[in-house]
């Protein structure tokens, strides 16, 4: 089978696409897979690192309010559509699968116009603009949340699959990961990450907390800042040289499965993929939902976990270095709470989304039975 994958911008769109591609390749090693993205998104680096070919088109997201800029965006969409058409004519895919991000609009619309069956996956509780646009000609739509099904009434069929996760993440082992990172059995290890592009607000708060409060001998941390904010955050951390033994600052964590597996506590945003990963691995988390997203969907995601006792939620309005340090200290002083939150998260985890998508595509679109 020849599969055209598209999804771009952030890791929240790209990682599900890679996970789906991996499943198809593992189930049928004769599958030929090509990604289409933009050179401005993280897919430029993440897709080749995963071992897949990628071609680039031009694309830009629409403003949600009336704006003259949308005229330029429309022209860019037409350009991207023509570029995608050339790729599709050359690659001749049997199916086109999109996981969100504005690049998917031109690619999937072009695929549809060329008679290629279109499949989409929506990871968030609130469906993105592009996925809602393409749902009108979608054969299959996969969603993470039950309440997202209603957004895809125009799709021929919608299935609640959960979010597809990389097999490396699902296979990650805590003991092996901690050995790899040279963590002792009594070390409390924290992964702090503000999303694939980072969060300036979270970075400043975490950096100020590390400067203000005692860290050494309390916990160890890897602090992922995002490429844009790395230098600024790193310079702040350097003001306290003794942090070097306890805190590692990086722009991006590529082997996230290792660090997640080793973690006792995850400090993070509440994007759908992050929530799925934390739950699949059974990790206690302190979630700081981004308020700068459509329909405030990150807080909705975080509150769902909170209802099940799987996390602690701090809104950006509540976020201060003191509040964050107090929450971390509370968990460290009562390790049974970490264990309880981790168990609750694990019960919410879905780990078979890739298999569900693979089987559904073969059975519904190509009418083939698979084991």
Query: Does the pLDDT at position 227 exceed 90?
Result: no
Phi, psi (5° rounding) for residue 3? -120, 125
Q: What are 144-179's pLDDT values in tens digits?
A: 888 889 999 999 999 999 999 888 888 999 999 999
Confidence bin at 235 (pLDDT 50/70/90): confident
Q: At what angle do helices 272-281 and 297-307 cross, to 10 degrees?
A: 20
The DSSP call for residue 146 is G
Query: Does the pLDDT at position 321 exceed 60?
Result: yes
What pLDDT does 62 receive?
Answer: 56
What pLDDT does 75 receive?
Answer: 83
Q: What is the pTM of this model?
A: 0.80
Q: Diameter of the chain by CA atoms?
A: 62
On whether the CB atoms of residues 88 and 106 are closer than 8 A, the answer is no
Q: What are 303-314's pLDDT values in tens digits?
A: 989 999 999 999
Pick the CATH number of 2-165+351-365 from 3.40.50.2000, 3.40.1160.10, 3.30.1180.10, 1.10.357.10: 3.40.50.2000
Q: What are 180-204's pLDDT values in tens digits?
A: 999 999 999 999 998 767 788 999 9
Confidence bin at 61 (pLDDT 50/70/90): low
Confidence bin at 290 (pLDDT 50/70/90): very high
Fold topology of 168-348: Rossmann fold (3.40.50)
Confidence bin at 63 (pLDDT 50/70/90): low
**Portions of the chain given CATH number 3.40.50.2000:** 2-165+351-365, 168-348
Q: How far is CA 33 from CA 2, 4, 91, 133, 368, in A?
A: 6, 6, 9, 24, 19
Question: Could you tell me what percent of the chain has a pLDDT over 90?
Answer: 71
Q: Strand 118-122 relative to strand 140-143: parallel, antiparallel, unpaired?
A: parallel
């Amino acid at each position: 089978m020849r599969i055209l994958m598209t999804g771009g911008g952030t890791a929240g769109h790209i990682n599900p696409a890679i996970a789906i591609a991996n499943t198809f390749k593992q189930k049928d090693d004769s599958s030929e897979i090509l990604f289409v993205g933009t050179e401005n998104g993280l897919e430029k680096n993440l897709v080749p690192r995963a071992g897949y070919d990628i071609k680039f088109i031009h694309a830009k997201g629409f403003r949600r309010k009336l704006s003259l800029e949308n005229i330029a965006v429309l022209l860019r969409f037409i350009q991207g559509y023509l570029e995608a058409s050339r790729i599709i004519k050359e690659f001749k895919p049997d199916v086109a699968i999109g996981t969100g991000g504005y690049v998917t609009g031109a690619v999937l619309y072009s695929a549809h116009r060329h008679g290629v069956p279109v499949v989409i996956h929506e990871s968030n509780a609130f469906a993105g603009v592009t996925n809602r646009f393409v749902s009108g000609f979608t054969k299959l739509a996969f969603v993470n949340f039950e309440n997202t099904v209603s957004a895809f009434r125009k799709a021929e069929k919608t299935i609640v699959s959960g979010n597809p996760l990389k097999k490396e993440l699902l296979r990650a082992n805590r003991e092996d990961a901690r050995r790899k990172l040279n963590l002792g059995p009594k070390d409390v290890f924290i992964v702090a990450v503000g999303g694939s592009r980072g969060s300036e607000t979270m970075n400043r708060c975490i950096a100020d907390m590390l400067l203000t409060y005692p860290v050494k001998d309390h916990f160890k941390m890897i602090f992922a800042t995002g490429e844009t904010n790395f230098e600024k955050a790193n310079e702040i951390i350097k003001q306290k040289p003794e942090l070097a033994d306890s805190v590692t600052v990086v722009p991006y964590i590529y082997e996230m499965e290792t660090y997640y597996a080793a973690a006792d506590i995850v400090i993070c945003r509440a994007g759908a993929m992050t929530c799925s990963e934390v739950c699949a691995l059974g990790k206690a988390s302190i979630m700081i939902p981004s308020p700068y997203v459509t329909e405030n969907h990150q807080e909705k995601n975080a509150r769902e976990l909170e209802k099940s006792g799987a996390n602690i939620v701090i809104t950006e309005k509540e976020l201060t270095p003191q509040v964050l340090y107090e929450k971390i200290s509370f968990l460290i002083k009562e390790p049974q709470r970490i264990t309880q939150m981790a168990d609750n998260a694990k019960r919410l985890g879905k780990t078979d989304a890739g298999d569900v998508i693979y089987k559904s595509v073969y059975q519904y679109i190509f009418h083939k039975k698979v084991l």
